[in-house]
Amino acid sequence: MTLMKTALYSLLFCPGLLFAQEIDQTALAKIRKEGMENSKVKEIAHQLTDVSGPRLTNSPGFQRAAEWSVSELKKWGLQNARIEDWGEFGKGWQVEKSYLAMTKPYYMPFIAIPKAWTSGTAGPIKGEVVVVNIQNEEDLAKYADGKLTGKIILVKGNADTNPTFKPDAVRYTTEDLDKMTNSQPFGQSNFTPQRANSIQNARSFRSRVDSMMKAQKISLELAGRAGKHGTFFTSNGVSYKKDAPLAGPAFEMAPEHAGLVARLVESGIPVTLEAESQTSFFDQKLTTGNVIAEIPGTDPKLKDEVVMLGGHLDSWHSATGATDNAAGCTVMLEAVRILQAAGLKPRRTIRIALWSGEEQGLHGSRNYTKNTFGDYQTMKLLPAHEKLSAYYNIDNGTGRIRGIYLQENEGPRALFEKWFAPFSDIIDHPTITSRITGGTDHLAFDVLGLPGFQFIQDGIEYGTRTHHTNMDTYERLVMDDLKQMAVVVASFVYNTAQLDQKIPRKELPQPRPAASAGK
């Protein structure tokens, strides 16, 4: 064996050499006491959601949340608290006014919101609705001859609006967690090239549909979205890039109301709608940044090494982004507040990051890691790459921590088992799974071979009611779960900072193109 392979073997298969250190029970007790008896999660979540509002990247709401976070981090005594620019994102955008209603055959206000980065209606408009069904290129060709010019268009959706016989809010059972551990073969990623291709093709087709409608100068586009019971899942309307052409007015709406309009029109009953939207673009500053702050390390030999924790601060615009992801940011802010209030002095530096641009493709975390640690496309690494011990992420809603995804890094398994053990009273059946999980900012570290971990969280209402929806509000937060998460995260971060060695790493990955490192 080479010397490097021998060392790696020792770390992976002789964990006692690395993890003989005892947990600091006094520190753990302080973390628990502060997090459970003096929690500030309600206050933090209120500021990030109710006070800041929707937080699309580069919007005023995002800026309010970022500036408040920096101010609080400074009050708590963290160092170097700032909004650190990572590069150009594009235009900010927000809704100033939104109204959509049916006036004939009778009056009914609709649940709807303008699509992100679309223009407004330039005043109230009124007109009869034309329903179009465009699912493929053949359908697209049917409407390419000017038939839609000046019309209010409803793009027919295919949302499942049948009654549900399962609860919206669920917690993992022991059986669920066991399946999570054992069901996915080692090495299988959730984000495959086939899935990336499918997403790209769908975006390309959607772009062609938008271009056709714009060319015909339609009056207004309406789109019924997935969802149920007045909840709908929103998304990106058009590009936010600085040179992207201005898109016409468009609304996304609850599937029940889109279905009502479609059924009336298809049965020969004319439908008239009235609408008004006002939207603002913010393009004076196209760059944006992440909130960064630090608790400096105290060990002369280890203080230049870093333990990171984070979540994304940006959200979608149809609600206040409570579970996606004010919840994660609340937990991470509370975790560093707990460490400071408990008077703990970590050996390594602890660095919090609240990311921007996650919803558009992990832009904030990817550019931060590129600027700080190295480029995953070329695997040209910077000196700081050797200084990071681990990154911990929260971004799966309001549900409490039930375990952790190893991202195929078996090295820290025994260590994490040891760290979960003291929390058996607040973590039922703590689960450590080898499997990869995707979709959020830990991937920006993982693609560089850095230990990046997302915690397993109870789903609660994430997939059914809150993720990217018009119902993702403060009321959907479970405060006791946020308290539990903050205590567990604070302990993991502190324990990582106290280790004699860094968290074990996987082998360095090969260089790969951006498309293969998908969200």
At 56 the three-state DSSP class reads: coil
| pLDDT, average across residues 338-362 | 97
Q: Give bridge partners of residue 350 from the DSSP assignment.
A: 295, 307
Domains annotated for the chain, with CATH where assigned, are 38-89+286-506 (3.40.630.10), 94-280 (3.50.30.30)
Tokens coding 194: 């086939």
Calpha distance 230→405 (Å, rounded): 33
Tokens coding 393: 């992420």
Task: Say if residue 332's pLDDT is above 60.
Answer: yes
Calpha distance 327→479 (Å, rounded): 9
Segment 283-322, tens digit of pLDDT: 999 999 999 999 999 999 999 999 999 999 999 999 999 9
* Least confident piece of the model among 132-146, 348-362, 378-392: 132-146
60-75 vs 327-341: helix axis angle to the nearest 10? 10
pLDDT of residue 424: 95
Residue 3: pLDDT band with limits 50, 70, 90: very low
The total of other beta-carbon atoms located within 10 Å of residue 283's CB is 12
* Least confident piece of the model among 181-195, 199-213, 358-372: 181-195
Percentage above 90 pLDDT, the chain? 79
Tokens coding 502: 């860094």
Segment 391-442, tens digit of pLDDT: 999 999 999 999 999 999 999 999 999 999 999 999 999 999 999 999 999 9
* Least confident piece of the model among 217-221, 269-273, 391-395, 456-460: 217-221
The conformation of residue 244, written as its DSSP 8-state character, comes to: P
Is 306:121 a contact under the CB 8 Å cutoff?
no
Task: Say if residue 236's pLDDT is above 80.
Answer: no
Distances (CA, A) of 153 to 142, 148, 277, 423, 451: 14, 8, 16, 55, 48
Is 110:102 a contact under the CB 8 Å cutoff?
yes
Higher pLDDT pick, 391 / 181? 391
Task: Say if residue 23's pLDDT is above 80.
Answer: yes
Segment 476-506, tens digit of pLDDT: 999 999 999 999 999 999 999 999 999 999 9
| pLDDT, average across residues 466-479 | 97
Calpha distance 185→314 (Å, rounded): 33
Segment 399-408, tens digit of pLDDT: 999 999 999 9
Residue 4: pLDDT band with limits 50, 70, 90: very low
Higher pLDDT pick, 215 / 374? 374
Residue whose pair of structure tokens reads 């890094």 in the numeric block: 409
pLDDT of residue 19: 59
Calpha distance 111→129 (Å, rounded): 17
pLDDT of residue 2: 40
Task: Say if residue 18's pLDDT is above 80.
Answer: no
pLDDT of residue 1: 39
Name, in order, each residue with C-beta under 8 angstroms of 504's C-beta and a sequence gap of 6 or more. 11, 12, 18, 409, 411, 412, 451
Strands 374-375 and 112-114: unpaired
- What mean pLDDT, rounded, does the chain reach? 91
Strands 349-355 and 108-109: unpaired
Calpha distance 141→133 (Å, rounded): 11
Task: Say if residue 261's pLDDT is above 90.
Answer: yes
